[in-house]
Structure formats: structure tokens, C-alpha cells
Amino acid sequence: MFGVVWWALFCLVAVWLQFFFPGLDFIVPGVVVSLQEERWWRSSFWLLVAAVLLQDGMGGLGFGYGAAWYGLTLLFFQLGRRFFDPRSVALMVLLGAFLGALHFVLTFSLIRLEGMHFSWHHVVWESAAQAALFPVLWYVIHKLFPERLKEDERTA
Amino acid sequence: MRPRRLAVIALAGLFVYLALYTWNLRTGHLDAFTSVTGLELTGWAMQPGRWIEEKTSNLWRRYAFLVGVERENERLRQELDRIALENVALREQAVSARRLERLLRFHPPKGWTTEGVRVVAQRMGPAAALETILVDKGLFGGVADDMPLVTTRGVVGRVLEAGASVSQVLLLTDVNSAVAVLGQEHRTKGVAFGRGPGKELAVRYMNINADLQPGELLVTSGMAGIYPKGLPVAVITRVNRSELSLFLDVEARPLVDPRELEEALLMRPVVKPAGGE
């Protein structure tokens, strides 16, 4: 129950931060912390579903961005943990760079698939900001994450 | 996780994703689902936050006013602050009332009705590639896709996606926005395309022989069927005649700045009763 409340409050704060910083995802660092610290079927999966619905719902694109964004983040994280410690800063910096590139590629692809156009410079800036911000946000959430919710010996 | 297992899961995921994506393209069910869940939750998350923001900023202002006040003047200063805050709040109410009064005075064209909405948020999240705003009415309030959003000054945009009680509006300035317009004086027809936030609209397909001048108002022509005829859209700022084109190269400044928008009017076509004359 405490976990549900913690993640609900986290999502509320993240949505508000997204209001002040349009184009950025503040939920994804929380998803990564959940993947690092919790059992995936108990928390991470539900958090992922909520994040996909929130991002696709509030976004202007059709369904598809959120699922691809979080799906590929999950895949990159799973691949990365084969080579790095799952909580290493190096992996988080790499994941940030990957997310920056992914934001541009996904926006470009999905916009073109829908036969629309977009502002290039906006998306480039958002990608750079997402890449730079992700490791910082991950660090903050990682430090704030309650000890009693950690199940790390089973997931690391 | 073993590499082979990871590859199988990734391939299966890709297959499911493509299946869902193409199914949604045909049916739109997942778009509707995310609108009534994700968009709705976003609306709920924003509304209490607005209240907290207002209260917090009031508290902060009060605290800031009181810092450094001498003890003997404290009561008087507090009183003064209270009156000053009350005055600010009353002024804000008066301005808001004037704005709402202007909205109430707006007379929709024949065959259309209007309904007031409040702007809840600007574009949000990584999937918000389009220039949009969120307004506080949705399907439950009778909002449908493509309904025009206007103010007394002019057109803001049209509904892109309606959630249960929150809707997303595509702004005029978005690069995917196109509005059929005509010059108010010279009646030359064209199409006003958005070029991104803060940028002027590009008006294309206006006859090269038209005697358009900067300062002329562009209004909706009603040709596309989304906007009623005659709503103000933008003011022409530049007219360029090229020998290489059959059309004028025109730029126009939108009349409404969406960044400063707090309330607006949604326009709804009046549905005539079936079988009526």
C-alpha cells in the first residue's frame, strides 16, 4: 500500500514538472529506479502501464509513443545490466543519452507515420535536455526512494 | 536474463507493438482509451495543483511582506498587507470578471452556440510534439473533435482529442494547423498555415493580383467546414510579390497569444431536430 501511495505521489509531482518543462519525461527515471529496486511484476509493470497511459493520453500524438518509449527503455536497461552494474552512474548516463536520441527518433518516426510535421529545433532541445536531465533525476529519485520498498537483493 | 531469451522477448514485443499500432490506426480504440485514462488523470492532477499553487503563492507573498517588519509596526503592517492582498485579489477578480464579460458578449454566428472553458495546461510530456493546450471540458460536456476554440479577439484552434472531462486543442500556430481564410476588405481567399510557437502564420494560395496590404484582417472563410465564416484569425504583417509564383507570399500575426490564454469559448454547431423544417 505504501508503495502505491509513493508512486502515485511521484506521478503527481512528475506530471506537474512536465507542466513546467514541456516535452520532457519526468516519470522515466522513476520507472528505472523501480526496475532496479523492486520486483517487476509487483510495481514496475503497473508503473509502466500507468506511465504509458499518462504520456500517450497527455501527448498530441496517436497511441504508440509511450509504449515504444518505455518498451525500448526497458530493453536498453536489460541489455545494459549485462555489462554494467544496474545502479552505476555510467549506465544511467548512457541510458540518458539513449533516451535523448530515442525521443528524437520516435517523434520524427511517429509524426511522419501520421503524415504530420514538427518543429525540429524544439525536439532537438528537448532531446538534449532529456539526455542531460535523466541521470540527475535518477540520482535524486534513487536517493529519495524509501528503504522499506527496496527488494534489491532479488532484482540486482 | 540470457541474450537469446531477451531477443525473443524483444521480437515478441515488437510484434505486439506493431499489431497494436496498426489496429489502433484503423479503429482508434487505443487513442480513445488513453484519452479517457491518461488525459483524464492529467486533468485531475493539474486541478488540485492549481489550487495549491494559488494558496502557496499567497502564503509566500504574505511571508515575504512580513520579513524585516519592526515589532511595533507589525499589526499595522499586517493589516496593510491584508488590505493590499485583498485589493490585489479584488483587482484580479475585476479583471477576470471583465474578461468573462467580454466572453459573454461574444455573439456566435447563426447555427452555432458557444460554451466557456478554462485552460488547464499547455502541451505536456515527451509525446507532446504538437502545439496544444488542455481545456477543462470533454466528452461529458458535449465536446467533440474539431470543435473551434475562440476568444473575443479571434480563433485559438480546434479540438484535437476529447477526453472524458478534459480536451486537447491544436493551436493555430502548430505546423500541422491549416485554416481557410479570406481578407476582410479584399475578400481574397487563402490558407493560413502554422509555423511553430511564437512565429507568424504563412498564408498561401492568395491570388498574386489581389491588392492585399499589411494591416488587413484575415477572417475564416468557412470553406473547410470546421470554422464558421467570418471569425478573425490574424493580421497581415508582410506581403511579398514574386515573379516566379502565381501566389502572394503573405505572413500574418495571430490575434490570440495562447501563452496568455486563461478562458476561451468552444463553438458547437446547433443540431437541428430530426424531421424539423
More confident call, B81 vs B247: B247
In b/e form, how buried is each residue of B202-215, taking b as 16+ CB within 10 angstroms? bbeebeeebebeee
- Are B196 and B181 a contacting pair, CB within 8 Å? no
More confident residue, B100 or B237: B237
| Buried/exposed B139-175: b ≥16 CB within 10 Å, e otherwise | bebebeeebbbbbbebbbbbbbbbbbbbbbbbbbbbb
Cα-Cα-Cα-Cα torsion B204, B209, B210, B213, nearest 10 degrees, comes to: 90
- For the segment A60-115, what is each residue's pLDDT rounded down to a tens digit? 888 889 999 999 999 999 999 888 888 899 999 999 999 999 999 999 998 888 88
Q: Which residues of B touch A111 (CB under 8 A)?
A: 129
The CATH number for B178-255, chosen from 1.10.3720.10, 2.30.38.10, 3.40.50.10420, 2.40.10.350, is: 2.40.10.350
Mean pLDDT, chain B, whole residue set: 84
Contact between B132 and A16 using a beta-carbon 8 Å cutoff: no
Average the pLDDT over each of A54-68, A94-108, B57-71, B196-210 and give the range with the smallest value: B57-71
| pLDDT grade for B69, boundaries at 50, 70 and 90 | low
Q: What is the pLDDT of residue A155?
A: 47
Q: How far is the C-alpha of A23 from the C-alpha of B126, rounded, in Å?
A: 4
Please judge whether A60 and B130 are an interchain contact, meaning their C-beta atoms are less than 8 angstroms apart.
yes
CA distances from B268 to B32, B40, B116 (A): 21, 22, 11
Judge whether A54 is closer than 8 Å to chain B, CB to CB. Answer: yes
How is residue B127 written as a grid cell?
509525446
Contact B158, B149 (CB under 8 A): yes
Q: Where are the domains of chain B?
A: 178-255
In this prediction, residue B272 has a pLDDT band, given cuts at 50, 70 and 90, of: low
What mean pLDDT do residues A1-6 have? 86
Record the cell numbers describing residue B256, joined without a space.
490570440
High-pLDDT (> 90) share of chain B, %: 23
Partner-chain contact A57 B196, CB within 8 Å: no
Return the pLDDT at B75: 76
What is the rounded distance in angstroms from the CA atom of residue B57 to the CA atom of residue B53? 6
B148-194 confidence digits (pLDDT tens):
999 888 899 999 988 888 999 999 999 999 999 998 888 889 999 99
Share of chain B above pLDDT 70, in %: 94
Chain B hits for A9, Cβ within 8 Å: none
C-alpha cell at A5: 501511495
Check residue A125 and give its pLDDT.
92
> Which cell is B36 given?
479517457
Q: What is the rounded average pLDDT of the residues A50-55?
A: 91
Task: Report residue B67 as a C-alpha cell.
Answer: 520579513
pLDDT at B276 over 50: no
